[in-house]
């Protein structure tokens, strides 16, 4: 595949409030102080819409807003990648369905679709460009990167990738142990004027790279979106590098990074 530009990053995870403030941690110059993740309300949505959002939508929109701060949000195409989608709602609806006379909330139902963050994003940014939502289980980040890169290469312009998963609710924590919310967004575009140039190569089976920092490595396996951490560590180091992520079906995604 041809190279693409990476223009901006959004980030939220335990001890990682946004990409800029997390740079010293990602660079290994400051310790990771893990704490509860606070997801701010989505600033771009009108108040009545904001009230109807879910934790999944708020998580996705937080990093999407951050990565598009300096972009034309009304134009760019978007890819929303998540392993599991809105498990809180699935939990509530499946619970409701066990009642003798099941009642499903209409708002919960329309927010249950995997593309609820994508729909809210297009509404919040009044953006008529195509938006998609996908899953690659634990390799959703690599699947999302390939989707966003092929969109960029096919038509040019900017493409937003947001990758996120909310923690599993109590009844699911044993079957799907995701304990913290985590989200990352990458704004891809033309290689000119991009702070980083990425060369993606879908390779055969290979071991995914670990994080350089032991603290971050402990987070990496905790959420499918946290698989981005080895990539983010290499982005902030300002030197050329390679990182290998797990791709779906046992493949690997090798990313060559050139600042």
R_g over Cα of the chain: 18
Residue 205 CB, shortest distance to another protein, in Å, is 9
Q: Nearer Cβ to another protein, position 113 or 236? A: 113
Q: Nearer Cβ to another protein, position 21 or 105? A: 105
Q: Nearer Cβ to another protein, position 47 or 175? A: 175
Residue 36 CB, shortest distance to another protein, in Å, is 24
Q: Nearer Cβ to another protein, position 27 or 172? A: 172
**Following DSSP, what letter does each residue of 78-105 receive, concatenated?**
EEEE-SS--HHHHHHHHHHTTSSS----
Residue 234 CB, shortest distance to another protein, in Å, is 20
Burial class (CB in 10 A: 0-12, 13-18, 19+), 227: buried
**How far apart are the C-alpha atoms of 136 and 252, rounded to whole Å?**
13
Residue 135 CB, shortest distance to another protein, in Å, is 3
**Measured at the alpha carbon of residue 212, what is the angle toward residues 209 and 213, in degrees to the nearest 5?**
130
The SS3 call for residue 255 is strand
């Amino acid at each position: 595949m041809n190279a693409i530009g990476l223009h901006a990053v959004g980030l939220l995870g335990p001890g990682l409030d946004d990409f800029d403030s997390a740079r010293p941690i990602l660079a290994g110059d400051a310790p990771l102080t893990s704490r509860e993740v606070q997801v701010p309300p989505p600033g771009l949505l009108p108040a009545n819409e904001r009230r109807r959002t879910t934790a999944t939508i708020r998580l996705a929109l937080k990093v999407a807003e951050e990565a598009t701060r300096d972009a034309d949000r009304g134009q760019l195409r978007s890819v929303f990648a998540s392993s599991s989608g809105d498990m809180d709602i699935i939990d509530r609806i499946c619970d409701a369905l066990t009642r003798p006379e099941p009642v499903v909330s209409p708002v919960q139902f329309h927010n249950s679709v995997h593309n609820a963050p994508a729909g809210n994003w297009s509404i919040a940014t009044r953006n008529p460009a195509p938006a998609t939502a996908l899953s690659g289980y634990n390799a959703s980040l690599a699947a999302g990167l390939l989707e966003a890169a092929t969109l960029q290469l096919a038509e040019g312009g900017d493409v937003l990738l947001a990758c996120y998963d909310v923690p599993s609710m109590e009844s699911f924590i044993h079957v799907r142990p995701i304990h913290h919310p985590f989200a990352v967004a990458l704004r891809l575009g033309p290689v000119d004027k991009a702070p980083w140039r990425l060369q993606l190569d879908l390779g055969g089976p290979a071991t995914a790279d670990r994080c350089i920092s032991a603290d971050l490595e402990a987070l990496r396996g905790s959420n499918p979106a946290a698989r981005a951490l080895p990539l983010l560590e290499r982005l902030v180091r300002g030197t050329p590098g390679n990182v290998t992520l797990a791709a779906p079906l046992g493949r690997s995604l090798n990313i060559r990074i050139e600042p």
